Structures are given as structure tokens and as C-alpha cells.
Chains A and B, each alone.
Chain A
Amino acid sequence: MKRKKSGLWLFAVVLSLVLAVGSAWAQETIKVGVVGPRTGSAAATGKAFEEGIKLGTDYVNAKGGVLGKKLEIVFEDTAGAPDKAASGFERLVTRDKVVMVLGESVSSSALAEIEVADRFKVPFIVVEAWADPITAKGYKYVFRAGPCNSGVVSETIAKWVVAEKFKRAFIVAETSDWGLGIAELSKSALTKAGVQFEAMTTERESKDHYTELNKIKAFDPDVVLAYIYGSGLHYFVAQAGEVKLTPKAIILDGAGPPSLWPDFWKNVGDYGNLECFVSSMHEKVELTKLATEYREAYQKAFGTPPTDYKSRSIFDSILIAADAINRAGSTDADKLVDALEKTSLLVTRGTVKFGTEKGGTEYHQWMPPMLVIQWQNKEQVVLYPPEAATGKLMR
């Protein structure tokens, strides 16, 4: 009896599918996709992205949009998971027919996405995924307007460790493309600088770090380079205080945003004091007029000053994309790549210029300047680089 209807059912399914096909609307806007984690453990970054997207589209459309049309951003949640990232990216390209994709903050996701970008030949500007191979693979359609691991380590973290005269360091890294990659780079940089160190890996989702922290404490480091993203970092910092690893040792949050998330202080309590983190944004260190405009626009739109610098990073990338589309005069992928390669645009973090020499991380890479900031009595004090410093390291 059941199988008698099966033909009918399947026919209905097939029919409904065929009907669903004819859904190509006339384009009145130019669509650009943004990928980022809006759910999962890195979801806070997606929220920052959404804020940046709102400000970015308003900014671009207020200045006349792109190619005479309005710029429309389609956001796709990648949930911090590479598989969702790849399928989400593909969906943007095949379903939403976006001309370009921006975003991503999770390296492993970005590494999956660049394969799709390459397969479908869609320009992709990575914003906040730091793993070196993203650009080092040398894909024609892949750009990065944001930090890369090697840049952050060699320009900022290693130099800061040397400048502060730390003698012993401990590297804790989550097992992700970002964490493992930046840990390796840190090891070789510290070796070169003659700083003694030990290293271990941890899980991003891990909540109980007591055992690990006591192992670290036994090494008696001056500084702990913590490459843990998400709330895992909060547990790490709070428990480091409980086992009295800090304040003798200084913790550096090697990613940044988790130390700026709204609940940081609630989760870490007083143990958050003196913690250091990497960031590209500080109120008193605004390199361009646009950066100040951005802060004011953000304050106006959301009622608070911006905290997570990743909202500004995506804002910048929207400006870069709009600029490239306008200069290319078309949405053709190859023309867009040409235009992107010739980019010279002032954004909030400085002037964007992509490297064009193949064969390394520098290819299609623009590295914004990064800061090391310390929480001193809940005030952000810039420690590094020296020309931007607003104070000294407190211990």
C-alpha cells in the first residue's frame, strides 16, 4: 500500500523542485557576499561583522553606491566550521550570484572557502583569518586585507616580547590552522630572539585549564602567549589568576577580540587586570580621519563606542570592494582581480596596497598595523609599537 503512492510522492517532489528553479530575479543592486561565523563559538565575530556591514554599506551607498547601483551585502553564516563555510560560500556564489565575497575570521574556514573561490572563480577578500597559507597558496582570486600570522608575529608579538625584555615565554595554542600556525611562527621567532620557551596545545572549547596552568606555572614564564580564540580564553585568564600564574606572568591574548567582548570582565573578574592583547584599534591611536569618522558613526548607530576591532576590519573591506568594482567598471571576476591588484585606497587602518609577487604570504596581502594593548584598571593602554604607546607595561 505504501509503495503504491511512492511514485506520486516522488513526482510531486520533482515537480516542486523544477518550479523552484526559475527564480532569477532582475538585478537592481550589486550583490557582494560576506562570510563569517554568526553562530558557534566565534559567533561574536559575526555580530561585529554585522555592525561593520551596516556602517560600510551606508557609507558606500551614501557616496553613490557601485556602478550607479546600490551595494547590497548578503551575509552568510559560516558557524566557524569549515564545512559550513565552504557550502555557505558556494551558496553565495550559486544562489545569490554575488560578484565578490568578503570576510571570514576563522582560518580553517577561510582555507576551505578559498578552494571554492578558486573553483568558481570569484574574488574573495579575506578580512580577519590570519593563517599564512590563505595567501601563500597563491590563488589568483584570493586577497587578504588584514593581518596574517607571520606579519603579526614578526612585526608585533616577537618584537614586543623582546622590547619588554621577557626571558621566559610559554606558548599555548588551540588546535586550529590559526593557533598551530601562529604557534610555530612564534617558536621560530622566539628561538631567533634567544627567548627561552615551552609550548603546548589546547582545545578551543576546553573549560578547565587547571592542569595545563599548573604545568605552565611549573615552567615559571614571564609571558604566556595565549593563542586561544573565543570564550576559552576567558576561562584561561580567570583560572590563571586563581592558580596564581598571574600576575607574576603576563598573558598576551594573541587574537584580541575575546579580551574586548562584552562579558570579558564578568567572566574573568579582577584577574583580567594587566592582561595584554593584540588589536588594530584604539581610540587614541587613530591613524586616519576615516577611523575617527568610523568611531563616531558607530557611536551614533549603536549607542556605544566600538570595541571589537573586527567590525572596522569588515568596514574597510567593503570600501575596498566598492572601490575595486567602481574602478573595474564591471563585475567581471578577472577585471575585479586586476582592479584589486592596483588598489591604493585610504581606509581606517591606513592605505591598502596588495602585494603582487607570487610565491609567499605577501601575495595579494595587505597587512594593517597592529597594536599590543594592556588592560590597566579597565583602561586600554597601548604598549607597542613604541611610537603609538600610551603607557608602559604594568606588572
Chain B
Amino acid sequence: MFALAGMNGLVIGAIYALAALGVSLVVGIMNVINFAHGELYILAGYFSYLFANAFGMNFALAMTLAVALVFLFGLLIEYTLIRPTYGNDMYSLILTFILSIVLQNAYLLIFGPYPNKPPNWVGGSTLILGSFYYGNQRLAALIAGSAVITLVFLVIKKTWFGRIIRATSQDREMAELNGVNTKRLNMLSFGLGCALAAAAGVILAPIFPVTPTAGVPVALTAFVVVVLGGMGSLWGCVIGGLIIGLVENFGAAYISTAYKQVFSFIILILVLLSRPSGLFGRREA
């Protein structure tokens, strides 16, 4: 049971980290919390389902296309909803909250209440450490999730685009003075944030099929991870995601399955009481 909880914690934690990275990126650069993050995660799941099952595309192609489309949708959301309210972070929160409810109901209308599941990439399961069987799809998700996270880190640390992102999230005014087109950067990073939600969505959809409201707990956990790790800290997301994933699964295994989400909230509150800016947050906002 111990090894299983650890394994589950890793897989789920990696996906949480991925979903949280998108939130964190947007918070760091724009100081905007996208409440509809979970609905974009679900949207990507629907797209990959649609392309793979209805149009018969190869699953990898379907996933890439799904992420790209959600990226574009993210740009659209930024342009129509976020940009006009820029600077009023409360108002963008309200707008994206309403958006999330609208999307949930739109999905219900378009895709119906049934869970929709894109095809598995691999079938069967593997005996881990001689003690339990673990679904191969979950192992694949762990690998894919880690790969995307690594890619994000490479982009942020190594590329020119990443440098601009880091500079802007450090000091917005300074970046503006140095000629960064923050309008375009906002749009791009919002889209990227959505694309990361989408990446998490397409990776997890074969394991947990998508339903119209399935994005809510994902978004909630992503927010918890972001606050836990420290607003805008990318390492915080990874560590926070893994912590939450492990805490939830060990809690479920040894204390109570039903309360597993509560454990992560409790951890969050404890951390905030002792370190209000999160594990990796900068003290001075």
C-alpha cells in the first residue's frame, strides 16, 4: 500500500504540477488568476477525444492539435476578457469565474453529460516492485507529464522568450522601460498558461475521462499548488504539485479516501500560517 500510494502520488503530483505551472505563469506575469483554468483543461480533453475518436486521428496528432487550439482559445480569452480589465485583478477573477460556469454549461450542451475518453496510448498494466499492478497508461502519463515540465523549464531558463518572462515577472515596470511589449507578452503568456492546462488535460483525459464539470477539482488543486509553492514560482509548482499529490494519496491510503482533498487544504493553511508567501515565494510582492 505504501509503494502504491507513493507511485500514485508521483503521477498525480506531476499532473498537478503541470496544471499549476500554467496558473503560476499567468499569475507571475499578469497578476491574474484564471478561474477557467480547469475548463480549458477539460476543453483540451474534449478536443483530443473528438479528433481521435470522431475523426480517427492518431492520438499524438490529436493531442498536439488540441493543445494548439486551446492555446488559440486562450489568446482569444485574453484579448476579449482579460485585457480590458487589466490592472483590476479582482475583476478579471470575477470574469473568469463567470466564464468557467458558461464553459461548463456549454460543454454539457455540446458534448453531453457522459464522460468522454480519448483512446489510451498503451494498454495493460505492469507489476511494480513485485507488489502491485499499475496501469501502463498512468506510467506513460508520468513520463509525458515530466517531459512537458522539463520542456517548460528549458524554455523559461534557456531561451530569449523565457528571459523576457522572467524579467517581466520580476519587475514589470522595468521590463516595460526596457522595451518589452507587455501587451503582446500578456497575451502570449496567457495563451501559454492555457496551453499548459491543455497539456495536462490531454495527458490525463485517457485516465480520467472528461465530463463538463470535471475541471473544477483540477483547477482548485492547481490553485492550492500555486499558493503553496509561492505565487509565480515555477519550482514551487513542481515541488508543491508533488507534495499535494503525495499527501493526497498517502492520506487516502492511511486515513480516509473521502477526505483526500481536505488534506491538501490543511497543508496549505499550515504553510500559509508559517510562510504567507508560500514555500518558494518572494517575500516582497
Contacts and interface: CB of A to CB of B under 8 A. Distances in A.
Interface stretch (A35-43, A87-95, A111-119, A138-146): A35-43
A266 B135 contact: no
A210 B4 contact: yes
Counting chain B CB atoms within 10 Å of each CB, the highest count among A203, A214, A215 belongs to A214
B257 A235 contact: no
A387 B281 CA distance: 69
A39 B114 contact: no
B1 interface: yes
Nearest to A201: B258
Nearest to B214: A207
Nearest to B131: A214
A317 B214 CA distance: 34
A234 B133 contact: no
A289 interface: no
B108 interface: yes
Contacts of B4: 210-211, 214
Interface in B216-252: 249, 252
A194 interface: no
Nearest to A175: B258
B125 A263 contact: no
Given A242-B135, A243-B125, A243-B132, A211 B117 contact: no
Counting chain A CB atoms within 10 Å of each CB, the highest count among B4, B115, B125 belongs to B115
A234 B115 contact: yes
Contacts of A392: none
Interface string B108-138: 1000111111001001010000001111011
A273 interface: no
B211 interface: yes
A211 B114 contact: no
A261 B114 contact: yes
Given A207-B208, A266-B53, A40 B114 contact: no
Interface string A198-213: 0001110011101110
B209 interface: yes
B26 interface: no
A75 to B, nearest CB: 16
A267 B120 contact: no
B117 A267 contact: yes
Interface string B1-38: 10011001000100000000000000000000000000
B188 interface: no
Given A202-B257, A242-B135, A270-B123, A211 B8 contact: yes
B267 interface: no
A208 B135 contact: no
B253 interface: yes
A235 B117 CA distance: 11
B125 A242 contact: yes
A245 B257 CA distance: 19
B252 A266 contact: no
A375 B257 CA distance: 30
A244 B5 contact: no
Contact of B113 (A39, A203, A235, A242): A39
Counting chain B CB atoms within 10 Å of each CB, the highest count among A239, A242, A261 belongs to A242
A214 B1 contact: yes
Interface string B191-208: 000000000000000001
Nearest to A40: B113
Contacts of A365: none
Contacts of A210: 4, 8
B120 A231 contact: no
Interface string A20-56: 0000000000000000000111011001000000000
A7 B220 CA distance: 42
A243 B137 CA distance: 12
A391 interface: no
Given A206-B257, A210-B8, A243-B134, 18 more contacts: A47-B113, A201-B258, A210-B4, A211-B252, A211-B253, A211-B257, A212-B257, A231-B115, A234-B115, A239-B135, A242-B137, A243-B132, A244-B125, A244-B133, A263-B117, A266-B53, A267-B117, A269-B120
13 contacts: A41-B113, A202-B257, A207-B214, A210-B8, A211-B5, A234-B209, A239-B135, A242-B134, A242-B137, A243-B135, A263-B116, A269-B123, A270-B123
Interface of B: 1, 4-5, 8, 12, 53, 108, 112-117, 120, 123, 125, 132-135, 137-138, 208-209, 211, 214, 249, 252-253, 257-258
Considering the complex of A and B, which 8 residue pairs feature the smallest CB-CB distances, nearest first? A43-B113, A242-B135, A231-B115, A244-B133, A207-B208, A263-B114, A211-B252, A242-B125
